[in-house]
Amino acid sequence: MVVQAREFKPLPDQPAPIATTGPIAWVKNNLFSSAFNIAVTITITVALFAILPGVLDWLFFSANWSGTTQADCVKDGACWVFIQAWSQQIFYGSYPIDEIWRVNLSLFLLAGVIALSFILPAHLRNKVAVPAYLLLPFVCLLFLDGSNIGLKPVTTDLWGGFSLNVLIAAASIIIAFPFGFLWALGRQSEMPFARSVSVTCIEFFRGTPILALFFMGSVMLPLFFPADVSVDKLLRVWIILVLFMSAYMAEVFRSGFQAIPQGQYEAADSIGLGYWQKTLLIVFPQVIKIAMPNILATFVMVFKNTVFLLVIAVPEMLQVIMSALSNSNWLGGHAMEGYLFVGFIFWVCCFSMSLLASSIEKKLDTSHKN
Helices (H), 231-334: 233-259, 262-270, 275-277, 284-305, 317-325
Residue 70 domain-assigned? no
Spatial separation of the C-alpha atoms in residues 282 and 350, rounded to whole Å: 31
Residues in CB range of 221: below 8 A, 6 or more apart: 231, 236
280 burial (CB, 10 Å; 0-12 / 13-18 / 19+) is middle
User: Of 258, 349, 259, 251, which is closest to residue 295 (Cα–Cα)?
Assistant: 251
Residue 5 domain-assigned? no
Residue 330 domain-assigned? yes
CA quadruple 25, 26, 27, 28: dihedral sign: positive
Spatial separation of the C-alpha atoms in residues 103 and 76, rounded to whole Å: 36
Residue 165 domain-assigned? yes
Residue 47 domain-assigned? no
> Around Cβ 131, how many Cβ atoms within 10 Å?
11
Q: What pLDDT is stored for residue 355 in this prediction?
A: 86
> Around Cβ 144, how many Cβ atoms within 10 Å?
21
**Total domains, the chain:** 1
Residue 249 domain-assigned? yes
Which portions of the chain are predicted below pLDDT 70?
A: 1-5, 16-21, 332, 365-370
Q: What pLDDT is stored for residue 100 in this prediction?
A: 95
Helix (H, G, I), strand (E, B) or coil at 327: coil
Residue 215 domain-assigned? yes
DSSP letters spanning 75-120? SSS-BTHHHHHTHHHHHHTT--GGGHHHHHHHHHHHHHHHHHHHHS
Spatial separation of the C-alpha atoms in residues 292 and 289, rounded to whole Å: 6
Spatial separation of the C-alpha atoms in residues 312 and 157, rounded to whole Å: 12
Residue 164 domain-assigned? yes
Query: 169 and 242 in contact (C-beta within 8 Å)?
Result: no
Residues in CB range of 265: below 8 A, 6 or more apart: 278, 282, 283
- Per residue in 211-225, pLDDT (tens digit) is 899 888 888 777 777
Domain that holds residue 88: 84-95+154-364
Q: What pLDDT is stored for residue 370 in this prediction?
A: 46
Q: What pLDDT is stored for residue 98 in this prediction?
A: 93
Spatial separation of the C-alpha atoms in residues 135 and 170, rounded to whole Å: 12
Query: 53 and 62 in contact (C-beta within 8 Å)?
Result: no
Q: What pLDDT is stored for residue 20 in this prediction?
A: 67
**Residue 233 maps to which CATH number?**
1.10.3720.10
